[in-house]
């Protein structure tokens, strides 16, 4: 997740870029940088760390920082970044440029075919200074400058890229010109009087203009102080309507959504895409260069410890690790694990999952395991958090800052990481053949698109179900296999933000007690997506309906469950083990709409905090 900003106009560009990056810092906070056009050259300053480190470097007080003198410079680009390739270094930070410094680029996203392009460029004599995918864009553009000119060089480079990304480029010999392009990552134009803005989010320029234009996939935009031109990827110019944004500052931070939670639900496609990005470049497998292969291959047993939503992500991970990698997996709530004198030691791989990296019980469980000789791996969203310092290895989720207390996008990112681990270990241990890995990885890479499709389609159905049931005082959630973990997470969301008493149960256990709670007023939410246990789940649905309860089924598109449920919430078809990444989303939205209909503050539920740092 990266925040990118571009400006061309009459203001001192450094001030505009830094102010814009402040509004986007939540999208990335491990490095930052700016490049400005300054008297026929491009000056760049980059720093590792948050935006304050960049400001210090610009003032000449950072480690080796060199001040960039913005006036009279009035055009440039900037970024605030979450790393997607290896450790964070100043060389890997944006902006990136070609070996002659003719072109500078900032990017949000991933170029999947960068290795192929890099080898081609190396053969042609290019010199690379980093290991990132971004640098290939700058080299491709620079190679086409003399023959095609800047705008066409950008367009031709864009047409050679595969992946999901947006980028903005500047060239030393083209003063007061920015060129942006989009492929499945947001890029918005801000229109001003004698000045133009380009950013990954409207808040970056809202202080200067409320007139905006949206860039769509396979489109490019050329910005000059007094003119904006839109082009197709084939080079055909076209017109794009402007519209006025009437957000206040608070709404701007929410990206136009009514709450942070709704915004973060809609950011889940990006969260998964960023998390798997460079890790699924190979068609037949997963790469996790941050981890030692032998560490993963040699694990005799895996223990997962986590709390709350992270615990539910771990449950899904257990099914994938056992099913694909054939490793025995133990799952435990961290607050219980740390006090039960567990049998753990050398040969065990203990995975602690914590969104913040500061969850006290999870940290204590990880430390206990490490003290007894186990290898400890942290899965977290926050670089530099305590979990990263306590672990032998770290795999980062890349969900960006999550503000709403109820976790949504961090959950799907955690599940994605658990799938990555399971696929990597399966390959190392030889428990999945190449054809099966290729099939699963292909489906995995389509998940961000599936999430986007799902969010576009399910709103009206969820609204109808919520309107029918928001005043009920009890819900029961039922599921089997990975569907049980999805139910636990969906029920938690409903409890957290609507304050409705909700129980989530293994469907096969329903007859052992919870069935006594059912009557004609009970909504029963059942995860009935395609899986080897679907027939068993349908049988449980029939048992529920006999008692008069109302069944709300989350089902795979195309499945005919109408005779078994009053309402069906369809999700796109995918590999059945990956289905939780989709099945949880209607449940998040259902909880959200019910809470809103009850007039509650979904971003700040009562009695809850974002990070639990006490017992």
The set of residues, in sequence order, having a beta carbon less than 8 Å from that of 540 and lying 6+ positions away, is: 478, 480, 507, 508, 510, 526
Interacting residues of 526 by C-beta distance below 8 A, sequence separation 6+: 477, 478, 479, 507, 537, 540, 541, 544, 551, 552, 553, 554, 565
Least Cα distance to 328 among 441, 479, 437, 429 occurs for 429
φ, ψ (nearest 5 deg) of residue 75: -145, 140
CA 503 to chain centre: 29
Q: Which helix (H) or strand (E) holds 88?
A: none
Beta-sheet pairing, 211-214 with 243-244: antiparallel
Number of helices (H), then strands (E), in the chain: 19, 25
346 exposure class (CB count in 10 Å sphere: 0-12, 13-18, 19+): exposed
Residues 6+ apart with CB under 8 A from 70: 12, 13, 14, 15, 36
Beta bridge partners of 376: 350
Q: What's the angle, vertex CA 198, arms to CA 20 and CA 399, rounded to 5? A: 65
DSSP string, 281-328: -STT----TTS-HHHHHT-SEEEEEE-HHHHHHHHHHHHHIIIII---
Interatomic CA distance for residues 208 and 356, integer angstroms: 34
Q: What is the DSSP track for 512-576?
A: GTGGGG--TT-EEEEEE-SSTTHHHHHHHHHHHHHTTPEEEEEEETT---TTT-SEEEEE----G
CA-closest candidate to residue 612, choices 259, 311, 341:
311
CA-based radius of gyration for the chain? 25
Is residue 307 a contact partner of residue 333, using CB atoms and an 8 Å limit? Answer: yes
Q: Is 487 a catalytic residue?
A: no
Distance CA 360, CA 222 (A): 50
Q: Select which of 2, 307, 458, 487 is catalytic.
A: 2
b (16+ CB within 10 A) / e for 361-389: bbbbbbbbbbeeebbbbbbbbbbebbbbe
From 254, 300, 550, 610, the catalytic residue:
610
Helix axes 150-158, 135-148, angle to 10 degrees: 130
CA nearest neighbour of 507 among 473, 544, 474: 544
Look up 307 and say whether it is catalytic: no
- Determine phi and psi for 199, rounding to 5 degrees: -155, 165
Residue pointed to by tokens 């060089």? 153
Q: Catalytic residue numbers?
A: 2, 610
């Amino acid at each position: 997740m990266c925040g990118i900003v571009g400006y061309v106009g009459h203001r001192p560009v450094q001030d505009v870029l830094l102010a814009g990056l402040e509004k986007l810092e939540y999208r990335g906070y491990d490095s930052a940088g700016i490049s400005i056009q300054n008297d026929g050259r491009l000056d760049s300053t980059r720093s590792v760390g948050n935006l304050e480190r960049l400001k210090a470097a610009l003032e000449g007080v950072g480690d080796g920082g060199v001040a960039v003198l913005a006036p009279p410079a009035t055009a440039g680009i900037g970024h605030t970044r979450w790393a997607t390739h290896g450790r964070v270094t100043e060389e890997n930070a944006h902006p990136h440029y070609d070996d002659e410094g003719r072109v500078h680029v900032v990017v949000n996203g991933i170029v999947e075919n960068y290795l192929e392009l890099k080898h081609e460029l190396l053969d042609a004599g290019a010199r690379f200074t980093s290991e990132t995918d971004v640098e290939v864009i700058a080299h491709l553009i620079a190679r086409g400058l003399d023959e095609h000119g800047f705008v066409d060089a950008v367009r031709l480079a864009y047409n050679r890229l595969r992946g999901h990304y947006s980028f903005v480029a500047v060239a030393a010999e083209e003063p007061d010109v920015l060129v942006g392009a989009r492929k499945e990552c947001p890029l918005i134009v801000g229109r001003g009087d004698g000045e133009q803005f380009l950013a990954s989010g409207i808040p970056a320029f809202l202080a200067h203009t409320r007139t905006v234009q949206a860039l769509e996939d396979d489109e490019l935009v050329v910005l000059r102080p007094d003119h904006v031109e839109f082009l197709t990827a084939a080079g055909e110019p076209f017109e794009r309507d402007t519209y006025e944004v009437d957000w206040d500052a608070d709404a701007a931070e929410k990206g136009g959504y009514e709450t942070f939670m709704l915004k973060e639900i809609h950011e889940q496609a990006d969260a998964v895409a960023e998390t798997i990005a460079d890790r699924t470049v190979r068609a037949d497998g997963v790469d996790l260069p941050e981890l030692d292969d032998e560490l993963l291959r040699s694990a005799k047993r895996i223990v997962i410890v986590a709390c709350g939503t992270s615990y539910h992500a771990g449950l899904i991970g257990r099914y994938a690790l056992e099913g694909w990698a054939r490793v025995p997996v133990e799952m435990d709530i961290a607050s219980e694990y740390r006090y039960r004198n567990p049998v753990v030691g050398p040969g065990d791989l203990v995975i602690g999952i914590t969104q913040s990296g500061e969850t006290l019980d999870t940290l204590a469980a990880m430390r206990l395991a490490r003290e007894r000789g186990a290898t400890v791996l942290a899965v977290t969203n926050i670089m530099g958090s305590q979990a990263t310092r306590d672990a032998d290895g770290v795999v980062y989720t890349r969900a960006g800052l999550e503000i709403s207390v109820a976790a949504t996008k961090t959950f799907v990112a955690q599940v994605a990481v658990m799938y990555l681990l399971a696929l990597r270990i399966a390959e190392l241990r030889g428990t999945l053949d190449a054809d099966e890995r290729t099939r699963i990885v292909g489906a995995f890479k389509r998940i961000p698109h599936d999430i986007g499709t799902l969010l576009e389609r399910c709103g009206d159905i969820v609204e109808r179900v919520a309107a029918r049931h928001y005043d009920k005082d009890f819900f029961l959630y039922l599921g089997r296999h990975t569907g049980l973990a999805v139910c636990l997470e969906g029920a938690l969301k409903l409890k957290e933000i609507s304050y409705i008493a909700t129980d989530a149960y293994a469907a096969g256990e329903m007859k052992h007690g919870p069935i006594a709670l059912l009557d004609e007023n009970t909504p029963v939410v059942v995860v009935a997506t395609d899986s080897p246990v679907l027939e068993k789940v349908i049988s449980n649905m029939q048992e529920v309906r006999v008692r008069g309860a109302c069944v709300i089924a989350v089902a795979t598109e195309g499945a005919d469950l109408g005779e078994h449920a009053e309402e069906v919430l369809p999700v796109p078809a995918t590999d059945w083990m990956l289905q939780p990444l989709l099945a949880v989303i209607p449940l998040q939205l259902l909880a959200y709409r019910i809470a809103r209909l009850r007039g509650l503050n979904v971003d700040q539920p009562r009695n809850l905090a974002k990070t639990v740092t006490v017992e």
